[in-house]
A and B are shown apart, each in its own frame.
Chain A
Amino acid sequence: MINQLKKNEFLYFGLRNKKLVVGLAIILIFLLLAIFGPVIVRNDPFAYVNPMGPQPPSSEYLFGTTFFGQDVFAQFVLGLRATFLVGALGGGLGTLIGILVGFTAGYRGGIVDDVLNALTNIVLVIPTLAVLLIVAAYLEVRSVFTEFIFIGLTAWPWAARAIRSQTFSLRTREFVDLARMSGMKSLKIIFSEIAPNMMSYLVMTFILQFGGAILNAATLDFIGLGPTNTISLGLMMQYAVMWGALLLDMWWWFIPPGLGITAIVGALYVMNVGLDEVFNPKLREM
Chain B
Amino acid sequence: MGRYLGRKILIYGLTFFLAVTIDWLIPRFMPGDPVTNMLARVSVNSDAAAVMYDYYSHIFGLDVPVWQQYINFWVSLFHGDLGKSAYLFPTPVVQVLLRAVPYDLFLLLPSILLSWYAGNHFGAFAARSKWLDSTASPISYILTATPYMWLGILLAWFFGIVLDAFPVAGAYSFSLRPDWSWVFILDVLHHWFLPFVSLFLVGFGGWAIGMRNMIIYELEADYSRYLEALGAPRKLIRKYAFRNGLLPQITGLALQLGVVVAGALVTEVVFSYPGIGYLLLAGIQNQDYFLIQGCFLFIITGVLLANFAIDLIYVVVDPRTRLGLMGETA
Contacts and interface: CB of A to CB of B under 8 A. Distances in A.
Contacts of A138: 26-27, 30-32
A140 B161 contact: no
B255 to A, nearest CB: 7
A198 interface: no
A126 interface: yes
B12 A125 contact: yes
A140 to B, nearest CB: 6
Contacts of A223: 265-266, 269, 281, 284
A209 to B, nearest CB: 14
A266 B138 CA distance: 9
Nearest to B277: A223
Contacts of B265: 129, 133, 219, 223
Contact of A125 (B150, B168, B295, B303): B303
A126 B301 CA distance: 9
A138 to B, nearest CB: 4
B14 A130 contact: no
B109 to A, nearest CB: 16
B156 interface: yes
Given A124-B255, A138-B32, A269-B141, A133 B11 contact: no
B292 interface: yes
A51 B27 CA distance: 44
B150 A261 contact: yes
Interface string B215-236: 0000010000000000000000
A251 B160 CA distance: 13
A165 B156 CA distance: 43
Given A124-B255, A247-B161, A129 B261 contact: yes
Contacts of A211: 145
B327 to A, nearest CB: 15
Contact of B255 (A137, A158, A257): A158
Interface stretch (B16-24, B85-93, B116-124): B16-24
Interface in A237-260: 237, 240-241, 246-247, 249, 251, 254-255, 257-259
Interface string B1-21: 000000000011011001100
A140 B147 contact: no
Contacts of B11: 118, 121-122, 125
Interface of B: 11-12, 14-15, 18-19, 22-23, 26-27, 30-32, 138, 141-142, 144-151, 153-154, 156-157, 160-162, 168, 220, 255, 257-259, 261-263, 265-266, 269-270, 280-281, 283-285, 287, 292-293, 295-296, 299-300, 303-304, 307, 329-330
Given A127-B303, A129-B262, A137-B287, 6 more contacts: A122-B15, A126-B19, A127-B299, A133-B284, A258-B150, A258-B151
